[in-house]
Each structure stands twice: as structure tokens, then as C-alpha cells.
Amino acid sequence: MVRRRRMVRSFTDEPLDPAQVDRLLGNAVRGPSAGFTQGWSFLVLETPADRELFWAVASPASSDRDLTAWKAGLRRAPLIVVPMASKAAYLDRYAEPDKAGAHLGHDESRWPVPYWHVDVGMASLLILQTAVDLSLGACFFGLGGPQRPAFHAAFGVPDAWDPTGVIAVGHPDEPGRGAAGSPARRPRKPLAEVVHRGRWTGQ
């Protein structure tokens, strides 16, 4: 299943079974989270009206690249999931007395890595992997900074919740392969280039 995971950027408009959606989300919350904080939330957009509103507020007004085909393929996805993280939930959790360093309270300097987004990223990967298991396609992509205020306003998302990304899920319109993306233009790096055993080697 791991080797079959890929980003699918073009979908049919065939709807998903509600049981498939439940499984995608049910597996997402099985991911690890620091301090078992579970500081994640998932905005699920399934109706045509909700999905159209998402694309209206999330699409940049202009781009250096022609995204017409990319948008057309993604817009047919019958399911949009926006995984979001709450930094406040983690700061609160690690100020509780059972955590080492609780005396530091909500000091953000304790967090050299934003684990709220790390954990939501892991939950997102579980959604991507579950899509493979269900013979579906999925694509994780970003929500631009300029579009975030409009997204929050359109869907009533509190400011405390910050989207980690967006996942489109559906039936691939070309089973067995996805639309050409960066992997079609760039080779996968060999293990010898990215794995460093014992000490750092290479560039």
C-alpha cells in the first residue's frame, strides 16, 4: 500500500460511499499526537455547494503557472477534507502538571518544531493511505496565506484553528496512474543520498 500511494490530481464526479468517508476520517484520528493532545479538527465538505464555496475562496486570483487543468481535475473530487491544527491545544496540554516542564507554562520556546502541524500531517497521511486501501485517489495540497481569511470567514472556522493543508478525495479518472506532477519531472532520490548511518555523510 505504501508503494502504491501517489497524488491523484484528476477525478471523476462519481460520489463516495458514506462508509468510505467514515473510514477515511476514522483512520485519521488513529495517528500519533504529542501528549495525546489530539489537537486536530477536520472540515469535511461533501455537498456541491460547499465544495464550490471552497474553491471560490481558496483559489488564488492569479498564478505564475496555468492551473486550469489542475483545478478542473481537482474540482471534480466529491470530497474535500481540510485538516486543521490548534497550537493553543498543545500549549495548554504541555502546561498540565503531568508533563515535564509544566512549570514553563505556555512558553512557545519549548517547541522548536510545531508539533501541532506535525501531528495533523501524520493524520493527513493516514487519510492518503486509507484512500489507497479503498481504491480511491487523493491529493494533499496547500491553502495559500492570502486565501486563509476568506476561508475562515466562509466556513465559520475559529481563528485558533489553522489549516495544515487540504485533501481532495475521489475516484481517479485514470485508474492506475495520476496526472503528471513533479514526480514525472524529477527522479526519486536514492536511499544512499538521503540516509546517513552513524554520522552525516555526503552533501
80 lies in a domain? yes
Angle at the Cα of 40 from the Cα atoms of 75 and 171, rounded to 5 degrees: 30
Q: Say what the pLDDT of residue 57 is.
A: 96
36: left (phi over 0), alpha (psi -120 to 50) or beta: left
202 lies in a domain? no
Helix ranges (DSSP H) in 59-114: 68-75, 87-93
C-alpha cell at 30: 488513529
C-alpha cell at 35: 501528549
CA atoms lying within 13 Å on the CB side of residue 150: 14
Q: Is 57 strand, coil or helix?
A: helix
152 lies in a domain? yes
pTM reported for the whole predicted model: 0.87
Q: What does the alpha-carbon distance between residue 129 and residue 101 come to, in Å, rounded to a whole number? A: 35
Q: Say what the pLDDT of residue 69 is.
A: 63
Q: Say what the pLDDT of residue 184 is.
A: 64
Q: Are 70 and 9 in contact (CB under 8 A)?
A: yes
Helix ranges (DSSP H) in 11-146: 18-28, 48-58, 68-75, 87-93, 115-133
171 lies in a domain? yes
5 lies in a domain? no
Low-confidence stretches of the chain (pLDDT beneath 70): 1-5, 62-70, 175-185, 202-203
Q: Show the domain range for 118.
A: 18-194
Q: Say what the pLDDT of residue 192 is.
A: 83
> What CATH number did the domain enclosing 98 receive?
3.40.109.10
Q: Say what the pLDDT of residue 71 is.
A: 75
Which residues make Cβ contacts (< 8 Å) with residue 14, sequence separation at least 6? Answer: 78, 170, 171
Q: Say what the pLDDT of residue 171 is.
A: 96
166 lies in a domain? yes
12 lies in a domain? no
How many structural domains does the chain have?
Answer: 1
